[in-house]
Structure 1
Amino acid sequence: MTLPVCSLCEMPDSQWLLSYTEADPTDESTREALLTLGNGYFATRGAVPEASADGVHYPATYIAGVYNRLASEVHGHVREDESIVNVTNWLPVTFRPEGGSWFTPGGYEVEHRHEVLDMQHGILLRESFVRDPEQRRTRIQQERLISMNRFHVAALRTTITPLDWEGTIHVRSVLDGGVRNDNVAEFAELAKEHLSEPAKGRHGDTYWLACETVQSDVCVAQAARTLLHRDHRPALAASLPVEGPRSVGNELSFAVSPSVPATVDKTVTVFTSRDRAISEPLDATRDELADTPGFETLRDEHFLAWEHLWKRFHLSFQGDDGTVERRALNLHVFHLAQTLSKHTADLDVGVPARGLHGEGYRGHIFWDELFVFPILNLRVPELTRALLLYRYRRLPHARRLARETGATGALFPWQSGSDGQEETPRQFYNPRSKRWMADNSRRQYHVDHAVAYNIWLYYQVTGDIDFLAAYGAELLVEIARFWVSIAEHDPEDGRYHLRGVMGPDEFHDGYPDRPGEGLDDNAYVNIMAAWTLARVLEAHEVLGGHHTEDLWQRLGVTPGELEQWDRVSRRLHVPFLPGGLIGQFEGYAELEELDWDGYRARYGNIGRLDLILEAEDDTTNRYKASKQADVLMLFYLLSAEELGAVLERLGYDFDPASIPETVDYYRSRTTHGSTLSSVVYSWVMSRGNREGSWELLREALAADLSDTQGGTTREGIHLGAMAGTIDIFQRCYTGLETRADALRLHPCLPDDLKWLDFDLRYRGHWLHFQISHEQVLVRARPGAAAPIAVVVEGQRHMLGGGDRLVHRLAQKPGHSSFFS
């Protein structure tokens, strides 16, 4: 018998579709991460509904902000880890012909399989042709969505068509609470059971299940209904209850005929005890389910919500390579938009480094928001505001952590979870040596700089002085106090020094003879400390002393303290290499050079050089070798003009002409062991090496799609790197800055990038940009917001609602005009 044509195979190649055909057990878990659907409140990996966690598949659902802490005994030591929780699996739907076996992975022969993530509509499509052990052939078509409109709702439509048989079919649908955290091989020895014994029940065609996290006592409740449809109408089916030790559901039985499709719709609602405006989560799930419409209405509402989202996140471009880069960029926007949405804003959560897509880093919050907020600031600034409040609410723990280090002020942890205490483990596992290695990354105090930078960038984009007065100033003051309290004054050189810290490069946690004790005067840390102190002083000036006198009194800010901040901001030490380039840290020049060619020849990918050297009983602390950009983060965050101003304030000469040499020096000594590294290098090379910048951007766009980190994508996408690629198009190649109460543009498109077209929100205006090699066009939508300053190539323009600005750029040979 010839199989019918797969409808998904007939879909044309598109920048909006991520498509997979056939099965690949080695790649399945990575695909599941990339096919994740979510809405900012919760997300579900793209596992097939008939699968369970079996080493190949890993169905999992994560709810933003739901963490739990467990103790584990590893090699005779007890450790505690807080992790995002894999909650009840709502997906399971499978079938069997009367007298046959249930459809499970490996139980049936799969003659054809096709999955398509439709990013434009936020829906996951699947079509399979399978043959059971009795040689009966069946077609399975599925549509899955997690509603972007009704954020407590998910739905799965399954259409089953017998191809060469008839009789009775049984469809089983359950909620499975028998899940645990088992997504990361490195955590195999750690405790995994985060959920209590569930409470279960049913009434009519509705069934429900509720569990509590065993330590944090968060109740997670789900309710579901499963209904049969024929010819787009509800149909009757015999229904029997299904119940296991930790599961509940039902089994529908009905007659089927060859080539006649039968559709089963599963609708699920999800609530937790952390939700607002509810009495009790289980009651809320049942009430919400009773009010939830059928699949078609849900789908239409969901499509409309995504249509509006894509208008807000609109960014298109034309390059030389067709749809490959555009698809990758759309995928990155898609995952950012469904991890952090308007539904996230009310949840008191941060930016999870691996999205809601897996258990990598235990779902913790790092500094990745530094790469994410520039996108949100210019699209959904109200979401940035809410996410910054995650940090503000955790100031008590940040103050406590500062005191524990012997300092004052506030020190935000390198890894944060539910309450803001330091969650960074003391060890991590090296699969090469089979040994546990010391993890000293909690010395990355520069997460404070990220928080300060994010506050100031948000203020510059929005002009939200109320936020600055109510929350931002307090955060900035406490961060300033921390840096000043750990700065050591050396009367011999008249400089202040910051000792015992780590920079962004995680390969160096100390000196060869003092591993784990941190470094002295990391250039990134010191220069950004000076920048932060200057911004706190600027905030004091912006807010003034009269109307906010109570603020400064409440915070205990005195004239003497302001003078101290100013003094330290002008006298921090910055190390330089013998040739005059900025040194990564004091003593960097004395480290050994690595045999780069030799290690690449022996190991190929040396991104995780730290693991390689530890397995050889060596250490990266001995070498001029970096995992990712460190000094070069300065060029990523600050324009040459801004960086020059900071260094001048510190009393150092800085020649912007040295930037390309600095980039080349550190590029040749970097392994790119972090997905963020290619993003940063692409950015800092954008003006001195446009072709190289474009190639690195392409690598960054492919990082998760091709799992270039060698198995990490299955543990969750790299949200910061995804956002960083978007920002290269949005701010880097356009030279877009928001500072000194103006929006500034200085385009520098690579030759392979013909034009950019996008929309941004700045100080109450929605602006449409069209930028090519020849010109910049900016249109402001009609509105009542005050006119804004737009500076293009140094020329200042005022733009009001409904105004249009055209600025011709210096012509380059070989480029034709695109915009009129």
Structure 2
Amino acid sequence: MSAGDDRDPLRFAHYDPLDERRREALFSLGNGVLSWRASPPETARALGPQRPDDHYAGFYRAGWYDEAPRPAAPRQPGGEVTALGALVNLPDPFGLTLRLGDGAWFDLDGVERLDYRQCLEPRLGLLWRRLRFRLDGHELTLHEERFVSMAEADLAVLRWTLEASTPLPAVTLRATLDGAVENALVDRDRAYEGRRLQVHHLEGIGSDALIAAGLHAPERRLALASRTRVPGHSPRWETRRDGQRLVQEACIPWPSEGRLVLEKRVVVQVDDDLPEAPEAACAQVRGRLPDAPYEALRADHQQAWARLWADSPLQTPDPTLQRLLELAAFHVLQAVSPLSIGRDQGLPPKGWQEGYSGQIFWDELFAFPYLSTRFPELARNLLRYRHRRLDKARERARRCGLRGALYPWRSARHGDEETPPYQYNPLSCRWMRDNTYLQRHIGAAIVYDVWQLYLATGDEDLLAGDGGDLVLEIARFWASLAHYDEGLERYVIHGVVGPDEYHSAYPDATEPGLRNNAYTNLMAAWTLQRALDLLARLPAERASALRQRLAVAPEELDAWARIGRRLYLPFREDGVLDQFDGFQTLAPPPCSDLSADHPRLDWFLETRHDTCNRYQATKQPDVLMFRYLFGADELRALFQHLGYPLEEEAGRRTVAYHLARVTHESSLSKMICAGALVDAEPEIAWTCFCQCLRTDVDAPADSGALEGVHLGSLAGSLDVLQRHYLGISPGLDGLRVFPAPPAALPDIALALRYRGQRVEVDLRDRRVQVRLDPAATAPLTLVHAAGRTCLLPGEAWSVQP
């Protein structure tokens, strides 16, 4: 990416049915509550229940999971059954098409397309499409706009404007509400998915279509209302039911002015927001359908987005980079927004889509630095999701004979472990045992989130309240999981899996789990240190109250300090930090060029009855994660606290060793390297950053991008830009400014909040300037390589990296 590059990565100038599913995910719209894939309404089941697989009309409610029992692996013997939480594909209310006279129905895949444009406008929160086509010998132009309202949590709107330069025959309109939908987006997950909704009521009243449905759990209820409007006309709608689809049709003369407008307005509510009786629930959502003009609804929506952009400005003269950064921020704020506050929602890795069943992993770790310094209330709401499941995490630890809180690697509604027992390999058509539930490092990620929010806000109540509960109970877990090894004279942690999911057991082992995964052990030590630091920072009375609430005895604190100083890290004799005990004894990577175009390595090896567990090949570089998460000074202090000197030459060898063995088959891998390598390999870091931003934009049509955008990667790219390249990060003693911009990074300006004060950061002509907002109510301390600087409101300070 270079200044002057005017390509728009968020615009398509042609229609490609083979790429539609990926584009539908890339251009999905949301408001932190609802999520709507960008599937064309005229290719929905408006034309009938049997449609080609080029499109997928997904519509979702954040956090609305189903836990109906499913076979654990239908093609495996034994009849094992599991109940995994899966985000539910809601009824599709957006089906819309038309025909002229008795001609053929308008179908994007069936008409003669003369011109096609599609564009996402992140700053407006709009997706638009312009299509010029020929239908039954007549030329028409369709302009479509759609949005999921950032002003109203339960509202989505679709608008068509059709134009023709010559008179047309009478028009028959068809609108559908499809309740016969399934979860069927991800082919390899279909055994776990399928039909989830149970339709209780389906009704058409004039131009309104209503549906009430439920899930396996009787308390899970949904009601949806859709209204099809034809401004300036009052057509008579006829309704028929086709199974669990509602089909509404109306005939109107083609307007003499040559322009016809159609609108669909959709409202969704769930669970306790609804009365229990299906008919009453439908009546309630119908009453919430807005009567305001389309322009007013759109204006309210855009004003809400304008406020979000004003709180997170980011400008660069490079138009391509500008659009890519906007796309990243746009998708983060579509997954968690001000409308999410007060709702029980986490942050799924693919956004609110069917990828990974919409479950929650650790991806908020990559979003917290960005959210905490711009939208701390959104970050706090994500922590509440974790805190509500604290008792469940305590229960899981007790079942394992441990203390504290053991959070699951994958969670959904209840806080149970949601990792499927098997994963399907589409290359071999066999089922593979999934042991990634042993990723205990999820607890350290939650502590990292708490600490990032505290650094950005200085909120003592966070440490004394929910945040303190999380940090201390997770520290308690690590202390109980670690055990002392007499031979090493250090504490060790066994039976875990690191972020690199390609290694979950030793070759030919009968039990899963690894010994002393470097990332896990270091993060455990860091968590134990943060727990003690947290108590030391609180006033004595509040620290005592927290300890009493959690029954933390003095001897526990002594154990935390002891273990936190003596956890073992698997250094080799040459000073290279290994990924885990025994990694260096594995066979060399099975592919001579790990960056070559080949099938996913774990799938490919399994087709040969082999496994990644045998090889020094990683999906993502666990060891380099340290350099992404922590600044150089903090990382050096952490290693010194553990009694391991962090030697520069050994650090370079460690980086080179792990870079040579990474496949980058995780979407997070390039982003991690973009931040981790900024000092050691700045050119590689910049290349990884550019590739990371384009993960979904440049993805192949049949890649995982069709399941939802890679939200952790997009959020992490914003973090890399701020913390690693501009060098701006909140610290305990002030706002830290240690810039290291890559040579190819163009000028860029952004703003963030630190301890409630707005701070503007500007990279121009290779110089970084930090300015405290004139409206600030307190001075700002900057910590930098030359010492400290105190900024008064309106003052600026700059440095040449």
Scaled by the length of structure 2, the TM-score of the pair is: 0.94
Task: Show CA shifts across 1:310-368 (max 9, x none).
Answer: 122212234xxx43332222211111111111111221110011002x31100010011
SS in structure 2 at match of 1:596:
coil
| CA positional deviation for 1:42 | 0.4
Task: Quickly say closer, same or farther: Cα 1:153–1:303, change in 2 above 3 A.
Answer: same
The reply to whether residue 804 of structure 1 matches residue 795 of structure 2 is: yes
- Counterpart of 1:262, as a letter, is L
Task: Quickly say closer, same or farther: Cα 1:693–1:227, change in 2 above 3 A.
Answer: same
Aligned to 2:285: 285
Paired residue for 2:343, among 342, 347, 354? 347
The reply to whether residue 792 of structure 1 matches residue 784 of structure 2 is: yes
Task: Quickly say closer, same or farther: Cα 1:731–1:411, change in 2 above 3 A.
Answer: same
Task: Show CA shifts across 1:282-304 (max 9, x none).
Answer: 34422321x44121111111122
CA contact (8 A) 1:675 1:709 kept: no
CA contact (8 A) 2:393 2:415 kept: yes
CA separation in 1, counterparts of 2:517 and 2:158?
A: 52
Question: Which 10-residue stretch deviates more, 622-631 or 585-594?
Answer: 585-594
| CA positional deviation for 1:522 | 1.0
Aligned to 1:335: 331
| CA positional deviation for 1:403 | 2.1
Task: Show CA shifts across 1:94-144 (max 9, x none).
Answer: 111121232234343333322111222111111222333x33332222111
CA contact (8 A) 2:475 2:527 kept: yes
The reply to whether residue 297 of structure 1 matches residue 296 of structure 2 is: yes
SS in structure 2 at match of 1:197:
strand
CA separation in 1, counterparts of 2:770 and 2:439?
A: 40
Task: Quickly say closer, same or farther: Cα 1:617–1:44, change in 2 above 3 A.
Answer: same
- Counterpart of 2:326, as a letter, is N
- Counterpart of 2:299, as a letter, is D
The reply to whether residue 640 of structure 1 matches residue 632 of structure 2 is: yes
Aligned to 1:813: none
- Counterpart of 1:316, as a letter, is Q
Aligned to 2:539: 544
SS in structure 2 at match of 1:652:
coil
| CA positional deviation for 1:220 | 1.7
> RMSD of the alignment, in Å?
2.3
Task: Show CA shifts across 1:27-77 (max 9, x none).
Answer: 110010011111111010000011236311001101101000233330243
5 Å matches for 1:37-52?
37-52=29-44
The reply to whether residue 628 of structure 1 matches residue 620 of structure 2 is: yes
CA contact (8 A) 1:84 1:359 kept: yes
CA separation in 1, counterparts of 2:470 and 2:341?
A: 19
The reply to whether residue 711 of structure 1 matches residue 709 of structure 2 is: no
CA separation in 1, counterparts of 2:192 and 2:449?
A: 34
SS in structure 1 at match of 2:474:
helix
CA separation in 1, counterparts of 2:475 and 2:150?
A: 40
5 Å matches for 1:435-450?
435-450=430-445
The reply to whether residue 780 of structure 1 matches residue 772 of structure 2 is: yes
The reply to whether residue 85 of structure 1 matches residue 85 of structure 2 is: no
Task: Quickly say closer, same or farther: Cα 1:274–1:631, change in 2 above 3 A.
Answer: farther
| CA positional deviation for 1:206 | 3.2
Task: Quickly say closer, same or farther: Cα 1:609–1:516, change in 2 above 3 A.
Answer: farther
CA separation in 1, counterparts of 2:32 and 2:7?
A: 23
Question: Which 10-residue stretch deviates more, 734-743 or 28-37?
Answer: 734-743
CA contact (8 A) 1:162 1:257 kept: no
Task: Quickly say closer, same or farther: Cα 1:274–1:789, change in 2 above 3 A.
Answer: farther
Aligned to 2:361: 366
Aligned to 1:415: 410
| CA positional deviation for 1:216 | 5.8
CA contact (8 A) 1:381 1:462 kept: yes
Task: Quickly say closer, same or farther: Cα 1:56–1:516, change in 2 above 3 A.
Answer: farther
CA contact (8 A) 1:640 1:656 kept: no
CA contact (8 A) 2:206 2:236 kept: no
| CA positional deviation for 1:276 | 9.3
SS in structure 1 at match of 2:83:
strand
CA separation in 2, counterparts of 1:659 and 1:694?
A: 20
| CA positional deviation for 1:164 | 4.5
SS in structure 2 at match of 1:331:
helix
Task: Quickly say closer, same or farther: Cα 1:630–1:714, change in 2 above 3 A.
Answer: same
Aligned to 1:771: 763
CA contact (8 A) 1:507 1:626 kept: yes
The reply to whether residue 247 of structure 1 matches residue 245 of structure 2 is: yes
Aligned to 1:177: 179
Paired residue for 2:119, among 106, 113, 116? 116
Aligned to 1:480: 475
Paired residue for 2:55, among 24, 36, 57? 57
| CA positional deviation for 1:809 | 1.6
Task: Quickly say closer, same or farther: Cα 1:170–1:645, change in 2 above 3 A.
Answer: same
Aligned to 1:4: none
Paired residue for 1:459, among 447, 454, 457? 454
Task: Quickly say closer, same or farther: Cα 1:706–1:598, change in 2 above 3 A.
Answer: closer
Task: Show CA shifts across 1:701-754 (max 9, x none).
Answer: 111111159510111111000111111111110122222231101111111113
CA separation in 1, counterparts of 2:409 and 2:537?
A: 30
Aligned to 1:325: 321
CA separation in 2, counterparts of 1:599 and 1:548?
A: 50
Paired residue for 1:434, among 425, 429, 432? 429
| CA positional deviation for 1:492 | 3.0
| CA positional deviation for 1:652 | 1.5
- Counterpart of 1:727, as a letter, is D
- Counterpart of 1:307, as a letter, is A
Task: Show CA shifts across 1:587-615 (max 9, x none).
Answer: 12212212432677xxx424721111111
- Counterpart of 1:522, as a letter, is N
Aligned to 1:218: 220
Aligned to 1:131: 134
CA separation in 2, counterparts of 1:660 and 1:299?
A: 53
SS in structure 1 at match of 2:338:
coil
Question: Which 10-residue stretch deviates more, 107-116 or 43-52?
Answer: 107-116
CA separation in 1, counterparts of 2:511 and 2:739?
A: 43
Aligned to 1:161: 163
| CA positional deviation for 1:160 | 2.0
The reply to whether residue 306 of structure 1 matches residue 302 of structure 2 is: no
CA contact (8 A) 2:758 2:776 kept: no
| CA positional deviation for 1:225 | 1.9
CA separation in 2, counterparts of 1:546 and 1:154?
A: 49
Task: Quickly say closer, same or farther: Cα 1:16–1:760, change in 2 above 3 A.
Answer: farther
Question: Which 10-residue stretch deviates more, 425-434 or 446-455?
Answer: 425-434
- Counterpart of 1:93, as a letter, is L
Task: Show CA shifts across 1:484-504 (max 9, x none).
Answer: 111111223321110011111
CA separation in 1, counterparts of 2:698 and 2:481?
A: 43
Task: Show CA shifts across 1:667-720 (max 9, x none).
Answer: 010000101000011111112222221111111111111115951011111100
CA contact (8 A) 1:477 1:536 kept: yes
Aligned to 2:47: none
Aligned to 2:661: 669
Question: Which 10-residue stretch deviates more, 543-552 or 755-764?
Answer: 543-552
CA separation in 2, counterparts of 1:737 and 1:299?
A: 36
5 Å matches for 1:181-200?
181-200=183-202
Paired residue for 2:15, among 19, 23, 32? 23
The reply to whether residue 736 of structure 1 matches residue 728 of structure 2 is: yes
CA contact (8 A) 1:788 1:799 kept: yes
SS in structure 1 at match of 2:54:
coil
| CA positional deviation for 1:427 | 1.0
CA separation in 1, counterparts of 2:746 and 2:109?
A: 48
Query: Which runs of no fewer than 5 residues in structure 2 stay unpaired?
Result: 45-50
SS in structure 1 at match of 2:324:
helix
Query: Which runs of no fewer than 5 residues in structure 1 stay unpaired?
Result: 1-11, 811-820
CA separation in 1, counterparts of 2:772 and 2:458?
A: 18
Aligned to 1:8: none
| CA positional deviation for 1:204 | 4.6
| CA positional deviation for 1:806 | 1.9
Question: Which 10-residue stretch deviates more, 197-206 or 370-379?
Answer: 197-206
Q: Percent of pairs identical after alignment?
A: 36
Aligned to 2:103: 100
| CA positional deviation for 1:174 | 2.6
